[in-house]
Amino acid sequence: MSPHLPVTPAEIAAASIEAAEAGAAIIHLHARDPETGKPDPRPELFRQFLPVISQATDAVINVSTGGGLGMTLEERLQAATATGPEMASLNVGSLNFGIFPMLQKYTEFRHDWERPFLEMTEDFIFPNTFRTIRQAIETLGTGHGTRFEFECYDLGHLYNVKWFVDQGLITPPFFIQMVFGILGGVGADLDNLMHMHKVADRLFGPAHYEWSVLAAGRHQMPFATQAVLLDGNLRVGLEDNLFIGRGELATSNAQQVRKIRGIVESLGLSVATPAEVRTRLALKGADRVNF
């Protein structure tokens, strides 16, 4: 774990507010055990920082349903179900989620759980079946009016979303998050970005969806910039990349937000406001959440 990763509810709240002040319109949130930093799905932890963030900023709050690798679906859904946020992430396909290659780069860890956590991903499938995806959509979408960041780690995941669209379970505007650079998913090759964007346009129609790019590690900023050049959106943060430059750890999520904001504005473009995001994604509004 990076020493700059926020762990306690107070640290997560402060980091989120700082990122919003730097220009982040959506804040994507996980919780961690305050003692060990291990991913923790308990709603009581989320309730310690969600109200603090919502009172200090108008940023859209997006609660993870990915949780931590190895969690059950029930564990992954419980925080979003309890809090009914405007947005929640939703992985839309199973994949071999391999982060074990990090063991070749790092030999020392801050906590006892980190090494076995990485090791187990060599023989691990992150399960997201059609049944569990439907359960999440019905529980959060139908039940709470939450809209989704559909996380697509491969081309087939776009078609999975389209299947649910055809079944009438989700309606536009859709928010498609294209994820690159995770071993087991689509590689961090700009040709792959171009192809997935083209396929998504064909499946959903440019007028009916918003799309964004998330790229792991050193690919984060180049892919974010390319997404902007293609009239898309982007996600940065310490969940996806611990560095701000070659060999230099990022000191905060906000530092990455400020860097990409500078790139965006240098291109003559502007960063969307939370109000604009709520309109473009047809969100229910911050006054209709349960925190």
- In a domain? residue 2: no
Q: How confident is the model at residue 1 (pLDDT cuts 50, 70, 90)?
A: confident
Distance CA 71, CA 182 (A): 19
Distance CA 90, CA 176 (A): 10
Distance CA 122, CA 104 (A): 13
Distance CA 46, CA 125 (A): 26
- In a domain? residue 1: no
What separation, in Å, do the N-terminal and C-terminal C-alpha atoms of the chain show? Answer: 29
Burial label, 138 (beta-carbon count in 10 A; 0-12, 13-18, 19+):
exposed
The structure's pTM equals 0.96
pLDDT (0 to 100) of residue 75:
97
- In a domain? residue 52: yes
Consecutive H or E run containing 233: strand 233-234
Indicate the pairing of strand 243-245 with strand 125-126: unpaired
- In a domain? residue 284: yes
pLDDT tens figures, 101-160: 999 998 899 999 999 999 999 999 999 999 999 999 999 999 999 999 999 999 999 999
- In a domain? residue 3: no
Whose tokens are 């009916």? That residue is 208
Q: What is the CATH number of the domain that holds 130?
A: 3.20.20.70
Half-sphere exposure for 232 (CA within 13 Å, toward CB): 24
pLDDT (0 to 100) of residue 127:
97
Paired tokens of 12: 């997560």
- In a domain? residue 135: yes
pLDDT (0 to 100) of residue 223:
98
pLDDT tens figures, 27-68: 999 999 999 999 999 999 999 999 999 999 999 999 999 999
Q: How confident is the model at residue 279 (pLDDT cuts 50, 70, 90)?
A: very high
Look at residues 213, 207, 216, 209 and name the one whose alpha carbon lies nearest to residue 227: 213
pLDDT (0 to 100) of residue 152:
98
What integer is the mean pLDDT of 186-200? Answer: 98
pLDDT (0 to 100) of residue 166:
97
Q: Tell me, rounded to whole angstroms, the distance of Cα 95 from its chain centroid.
A: 16
- In a domain? residue 4: no
Q: In which domain, by residue range, is 186 found? A: 9-288
Looking at the structure of the chain, the number of domains it has is: 1
pLDDT tens figures, 208-267: 999 999 999 999 999 999 999 999 999 999 999 999 999 999 999 999 999 999 999 999
- In a domain? residue 240: yes
With pLDDT > 90 as the criterion, what percentage of the chain qualifies? 98
